[in-house]
A and B are shown apart, each in its own frame.
Chain A
């Protein structure tokens, strides 16, 4: 069964550094998403991407964040200058229609 994959599984970075989180969505899916979950809190929407552009973004997704689909398979989330409060699990998801399937996540730790 096709799955969303994410790399790395765990990323440790220093405050102020740039990080890129990578995702390979399910191959025939058209919609791509990033969510985050701070430890002990609910899953929060960051951004959705369709037809090579952002279709929706939340208040969390400020100028420090960007997304890109650099080729036909990868979908990336860049955090330009990480803050301590960016420490969270970051989940990529993809969908063909409304049903969103999540990848295993990248745990980002900002020190």
Chain B
């Protein structure tokens, strides 16, 4: 069973701080990695994806990938209370279709 692991949290950060969310995956052959945000009772919302080692930035979000360590992270700069949500890490299957999700990390940004 190919696993995607995330700390369930909650991770609490003060407003304006950097939130760091981590994810590890078991399948060394995995190619593409996704971060979704899910508010309570809502559907997953795509934040960004990454497939190359290193950093990828999009606004306040930076995804980091280290394939050697099988580790993906998401940094949120200048965290806002509206960022309070569950952040889901997902890895695409070898077939290129199915997303395999982690259980998510709950983030709480306190004013």
- A binding-site residues for B, Cβ under 8 Å: 31, 33, 35, 41-45, 48, 50, 55-56, 58, 89, 91, 98-105
Q: What's the dominant secondary structure at chain A's contact region? A: strand
Chain B residue numbers with a CB within 8 Å of A104 are 42-43
**Do A98 and B96 have beta carbons less than 8 Å apart?**
yes
How many positions in chain B have a CB within 8 Å of any CB in the partner chain? 23
Besides A45-B99, A102-B44, 6 more A-B contacts (Cβ < 8 Å) are: A42-B88, A42-B101, A43-B99, A43-B101, A56-B98, A102-B46
Contact sample, A vs B, 18 pairs, CB 8 Å cutoff? A42-B88, A42-B101, A42-B104, A45-B93, A48-B97, A56-B97, A56-B98, A58-B98, A91-B44, A98-B96, A99-B34, A100-B46, A101-B46, A102-B36, A102-B43, A102-B44, A102-B45, A104-B43
Interface string of B48-72 (1 = CB under 8 A from A): 0100000000000000000000000
Please report the C-alpha to C-alpha distance between residue A91 and residue B88 in the assembled complex, in whole angstroms. Answer: 15
| B48, closest chain A residue (CB) | A99
